[in-house]
Amino acid sequence: MQRCESCQRPFTWKEIQKTIRWNYKPLVCGKCGEKHHITIQSKVLFSLSIAILLFIFSLANLAFNLRIAVMIIVFLTVLLSFPYFAKYKRDEKIKQKGKKGK
């Protein structure tokens, strides 16, 4: 599981899970307050794994109802296991834009 790059505190599954709903939010360390952003590779991995799994199931000859159910299960499985694979980077580039920089 990802750790805070600043204080090495491990993030919890729940903390990471919260950041991947709808739009990727920054992951803020509960101990030192350091912001982390998800890497592009993680975003790509997330989208690709869903796309590939859905593609595989779309080839299978399933009934329509079953297909919808499988899609929901695939999506949830990827979403729930995502915190174990996601990589986050300390928010350094954002600071240069002068957004509440220290």
Rg (CA), the chain: 17
Distance, in Å, from the CA atom of 26 to the CA atom of 4, rounded to the nearest integer, reads 12
| Interface with Zn ion, residue 1, by CB under 5 A | no
Q: Report the nearest approach of Zn ion to the CB of residue 41 (Å).
A: 22
Which parts of 23-42 interact with Zn ion (CB under 5 A)?
29, 31-32, 34
From the centroid of its chain, how far is CA 44? 10
The region of 6-14, 20-28, 45-53, 59-67 touching Zn ion under the rule CB under 5 A is 6-14
From the centroid of its chain, how far is CA 10? 16
Sites of contact with Zn ion (CB under 5 A) = 4, 6-7, 9, 29, 31-32, 34
